[in-house]
Amino acid sequence: MTSAPMIGVLAIQGAVREHISLLEAAGAQAMPIRQTADIAKVTGIVLPGGESTTISKLAVIDGLMEPLRAAASEGVPIYGSCAGMILLADRILDGRPDQETIGGIDMTVRRNAFGRQVDSFEGGIDLVGIDGGPFPGIFIRAPWVEEIGPKVEVLGRVGAGTANGRIVAVRDRNLIATSFHPELTGDTRVHQYFVEMVRQAA
Ligand code: GLN
């Protein structure tokens, strides 16, 4: 392991610092993405959680939407957590009528899917391609994936409770998304998986 790819974290809102430290712990270099020029400096991109309606509105205003769409379709590895998952979805349910997404993953994502009474919860999620036991999933007003296209790979599902079986982690070629927030745990495994994707793509 010699290469430390430079990965950008979209820095409009959300847990930007936490993603940066886990990316560094996983062997990458990391920087915030605040403007279009930053996208050219990175070989992978993380879209953090936050409020997807706000993030997408500000991304449009900042002129970041089209460059991010271009990166997604050109094969740049992108990882979205929670609101970031919503941003990577081709279709959303319970979004704002004017809510734009970057898109790229052939899936329908439902916002705030777990219901108001379950604002946040934690649960172990078995993830395809990630060893070492269930991943500690922290869900905060999280979306789930309601439907996927034929080429989308399911990486993880909720394993218990009323949402049992719901898809919460997916991969579509260069794009991955989780409903939960690995950046709020000390567990680097999802970030390591993503850093490896970025290395492979280089
Ligand atoms: N509910 C938020 C949204 O729709 C996502 C929550 C999160 O990222 N923790 O954007």
Query: pTM for this one?
Result: 0.96
Cα(142) to ligand 1 centroid in Å equals: 6
pLDDT in tens, 14-53: 899 999 999 999 999 999 999 999 999 999 999 999 999 9
- Ranking 87-91, 112-116, 173-177 by mean pLDDT, the lowest is 112-116
pLDDT of residue 120: 85
- For range 45-74, the mean pLDDT: 96
- Cα–Cα dist 195/177, whole Å: 14
Count of residues for the chain?
202
Residue from 16, 86, 120, 178 to probe ligand 1 pocket by mutation (most atoms less than 8 Å from CB): 86
- For range 130-150, the mean pLDDT: 96
- Residues labelled as active-site residues: 82, 181, 183
From 3.40.1390.30, 3.20.20.70, 3.40.50.300, 3.40.50.880, which CATH number describes the 6-201 domain?
3.40.50.880
Q: With the CA atoms of 120, 126, 127 and 132 taken in that order, what torsion angle do they form, in degrees rounded to the nearest 10?
A: 110
- Cα–Cα dist 147/133, whole Å: 26
Token reading at 123: 């649960």
State the closest ligand 1 atom to the C-alpha of 139, by its place in the atom list counted from 1: 9
State the closest ligand 1 atom to the C-alpha of 81, by its place in the atom list counted from 1: 8
Residue 76 has pLDDT above 70, yes or no: yes
**Are 159 and 134 a contacting pair, CB within 8 Å?**
yes
| Mean pLDDT, the chain, whole residue set | 95
pLDDT of residue 118: 63
Residue-range domain boundaries for the chain: 6-201
